[in-house]
Chain A
Amino acid sequence: MTTRLKVFSPLSLLVILVLLLPISVMIVASFQGGDAGFSLDNYRQVFTNHYYSEAIRNSLGIALITSVFSLLIAIVGAWSLTHLAPSTKNMFISLFNMSASFAGVPLAFSLIILFGNAGIWQALTTALHLPRLFEIYSLSGTTLAYTFFEVPLGILFLFPVFEELNPEWREISAVLGASPFFFFKKVILPIIFPNIIEVLILLFANAMGTYETTFALTGNSIVTIPTLIGTLIDGGLTANIPLACTFATLFALVMTALVWLGNRVTRSKREVAA
């Protein structure tokens, strides 16, 4: 019992100090009104204020589009990765890891150099008299920016699943007279489908929680839930920490439920398959 205590105490202390306590205090604060009594006023504001609903709409829109789009590219990418020689494969895995770490301020800056008002894309499209197609500081630009870390992340999540698929299965099913479509529908899809759903949820959650890239790229001109929380915390005159707590509480609640659901889908499907 004492060894157990010794083994678990550092981690428990850490989790209590910087996770359980702050999150509990945050939840309590989200119900605080102006007079420090219990109130649902903050929650009412979240759903009625136009500026706040714009943040929610932007976040959901960007996250939904980038996660679905990145997932599709990641599926093709993970499939391609399994077809490469081992050394090339490792090189690409390192590249994807690096790209995922490059997210945030460095990514935003690189994209401004490339697509910004004084950037190369601007020079190129002007010289060739082409339309610019999109503005990097806008909603569509932010959506594009997210794919630079969502795609590599998706491939890193999906690759192990694809690597486990046995190439002999295809031959066996062909010998038994199954068409490639039947094979895909009855063998491959049931195995990878739950994982794809789980990865989609993780990519969606990751996009919803992205603060650094959005803030560095657009300042506060594109408002999302994370940048709104940032402004509510350190926005000087407009600071409203209890309201930030309300947004954060709703975010944590919805994302935890979603990730938990994704986990359940994968597990129950796996049990059925087994």
Chain B
Amino acid sequence: MHHKASTYWARGIMTALFLYLVTPIVVTMIYSFSTSWVKTILPSGFTLKWYSQLITNADFTSSLLRSLGLGLLTTIIAQICFLPVVFYANVYDARVKSHLRFVTVLPFTIPGIILVTGLIQLYADLPIPKLLILVLAISLLSLPLTYQALDNAFIGQDFRAMFEQALVLGDSPLKAFIKVILPNIRAGILIAMLLTFTSAFGEYVLTNILLGGNFETLKIYMYRLMQSNGQASSVLTTIYFIFLALVSLILIVIMRHYAKHDQSSQKGTHN
């Protein structure tokens, strides 16, 4: 009896939370399809005009490409920095993990606006490309996501035994890693890459302040549109939300796929 009542409460609360979080997004979506929606309760009509206008705009394409490039570079750098360390910590020396914990709180103790102050002070007058510094700095701030996702990938299997067997059989450490470890942590790597990519793709603070608006990424373009053209900005916001939704969908598919895979392989070993 008690269980029933709490379930109803839970459902009611979650419905309210859902409405509260989703309303601004849904309203922006409707706005992007409206001919005009100013100071009225309902829009005056619907159109796809704003979409064709934005998508054919050269500024949109170039800002999209910049954000994609930033996302890809950051994803690669984050993997190069963290994959070996997380592997080492999980297989050889768990003590390393306690040292890595500082990484997980980094976005809270040194958020983007604080980090960029130091970067400006250090690199503003040095002849080093700011873009390189930007990519490295975004990689640093995305490390908590990368770290957590990669660390989860190492749960549940004896990677040390697998790795050492491969070494005994004559593989070099790098070859052993690629042959026996990598195939087993594919899901974790994919998830880590997607999360890193998303955070770099939507970066704003570092890009805007470090490069002073000279490097117009999608978010900076969105801010410029917001000041000048509400309709175009609502289209871009909607596209950005659809991008986030697609990423979540892919994440769910990956997790489901590998969860099933794990279950069947576990059953195999138990039988």
Residues in chain A within 8 A of chain B (CB atoms): 3-4, 6-8, 10-11, 14-15, 17-19, 21-23, 25-26, 29, 73, 76-77, 79-84, 88, 90, 92, 94-99, 101-102, 104-114, 118, 120, 122-124, 126-127, 148, 151-152, 202, 205-206, 209-212, 216, 226, 229-230, 233-234, 241, 244-245, 247-248, 251-252, 255-256, 259, 263
Contacts and interface: CB of A to CB of B under 8 A. Distances in A.
A84 B23 contact: no
B139 to A, nearest CB: 6
B193 to A, nearest CB: 16
Given A80-B17, A113-B31, 10 more contacts: A7-B85, A8-B84, A18-B115, A18-B133, A95-B22, A98-B244, A109-B222, A110-B28, A209-B112, A233-B116
A255 B109 contact: yes
Contacts of B27: 110, 113-114, 120
A252 B14 contact: no
The DSSP consensus for interface residues of chain B is helix
B14 A109 contact: no
Contacts of B245: 98
B252 A94 contact: yes
Interface in B215-251: 219, 222-223, 226, 230, 233-234, 237, 240-241, 244-245, 248, 251
B140 A234 contact: no
Given A18-B119, A95-B21, A101-B202, A211 B10 contact: no
Contact of B10 (A80, A111, A205, A209): A80
Interface string B187-225: 000000000001100101100010010000001001100
A126 B121 CA distance: 49
B118 A104 contact: no
Nearest to A111: B24
B109 A256 contact: yes
Contacts of B9: 80, 83
Interface stretch (B44-52, B61-69, B75-83, B178-186): B75-83
B58 to A, nearest CB: 21
Interface string B80-96: 11101101100000000
B161 interface: no
Given A122-B39, A255-B108, A26 B117 contact: yes
A27 to B, nearest CB: 8
A90 B226 CA distance: 33
B267 interface: no
B110 A23 contact: yes
A134 to B, nearest CB: 15
A211 B9 CA distance: 36
Contacts of B81: 10-11, 14
A252 B110 contact: yes
Contact of A14 (B107, B110, B116, B136): B136
A105 B108 contact: no
B115 A19 contact: yes
Nearest to A180: B2
B169 interface: no
5 interchain residue pairs of minimum CB distance: A22-B118, A209-B111, A83-B10, A110-B24, A26-B118
A104 to B, nearest CB: 6
Contacts of B198: 101
A77 B19 CA distance: 13
Contacts of A92: 14, 18
B209 A233 contact: yes
A21 B122 contact: yes
Contacts of A233: 116-117, 120, 209
B131 interface: no
B10 A241 contact: no
B137 interface: yes
B222 A106 contact: yes
Nearest to B32: A113
Given A84-B10, A233-B209, A245 B117 contact: yes
Contacts of A17: 133, 136
A84 B14 contact: yes
Contacts of A244: 117, 120
Given A106-B241, A118-B39, A152-B21, A216 B223 contact: yes
B105 interface: yes
12 contacts: A22-B118, A80-B14, A101-B202, A105-B223, A105-B226, A109-B234, A120-B37, A205-B111, A209-B107, A210-B111, A233-B209, A255-B109
A77 B13 CA distance: 7
Given A18-B140, A248-B118, A97 B108 contact: no
A11 B82 contact: yes
Given A79-B10, A120-B27, A230-B209, A7 B108 contact: no
